[in-house]
Amino acid sequence: MKTLVSSYDAALFDLDGVVYLGPNAIDGVTSALARLREIGTRLGFVTNNAARTPTAVAEHLRELGIQADDSDVVNSTQATVRMLRGELPVGAKVLVVGTDALASQLAEGGFVPVSTLEENPVAVVQGYHPQLPWSLLELGAIAVQRGAAWFATNPDQTRPTERGILPGCGTQVDLIADCVGFRPSMAGKPFRPLLDETVLRLEARHPIFIGDRIDTDIVGAGNVRMDSLFVFTGAHGKYDLAEADPIGRPTHIGYDVSALLAPAREAEIIGNGFRCGVAEAWMIDGRVVADVVPDDIEGQLDLLWCVLHAIWRFNAEGADLLARLDLLR
- What digits encode the pLDDT tens for the residues 80-127? 999 999 999 999 999 999 999 999 999 999 999 999 999 999 999 999
Query: How far is CA 248 from each of CA 19, 114, 169, 197, 311, rounded to the nearest angstrom?
Result: 21, 38, 21, 21, 14
Give the C-alpha separation, 170 to 193, whole Å.
17
At 4, which amino acid appears? L
CA distances from 247 to 8, 222, 265 (A): 20, 6, 19
Pairing mode, strands 273-276 and 279-284: antiparallel
Whether residue 178 lies in the annotated active site = no
pLDDT for 22 equals: 85
Instruction: Exactly one of 9, 14, 285, 320 is catalytic; name it.
Output: 14
CB 125 within 8 A of CB 106: yes
**Cβ contacts of 54 within 8 Å, gap of 6 or more:** 70, 71, 73, 74, 75, 78
Q: Are 153 and 169 in contact (CB under 8 A)?
A: yes
What pLDDT was estimated at residue 299? 97
pLDDT the model gives residue 74: 95
Per CATH, domain 77-186 is 3.10.310.10? no
Q: Residues spanned by CATH 3.40.50.1000 within the chain? A: 4-75+191-261, 77-186
Neighbours of 246 (CB within 10 A): 7
pTM of this prediction?
Answer: 0.91
Residues of the chain with pLDDT under 50: none
Confidence (pLDDT) at 156:
87
Distance CA 241, CA 255 (A): 13
What is the distance between the alpha carbons of residues 60 and 232, in angstroms, rounded to a whole number? 22
CB-CB contact of 30 with 138 (8 Å): no
User: How confident is the model at residue 165, as a pLDDT?
Assistant: 86
Looking at residue 250, its pLDDT comes to 98
- For this structure, is 14 an active site residue? yes
In this prediction, residue 162 carries a pLDDT of 83
CA 42 – CA 40 distance, rounded (Å): 6
Determine the CATH number of domain 4-75+191-261: 3.40.50.1000
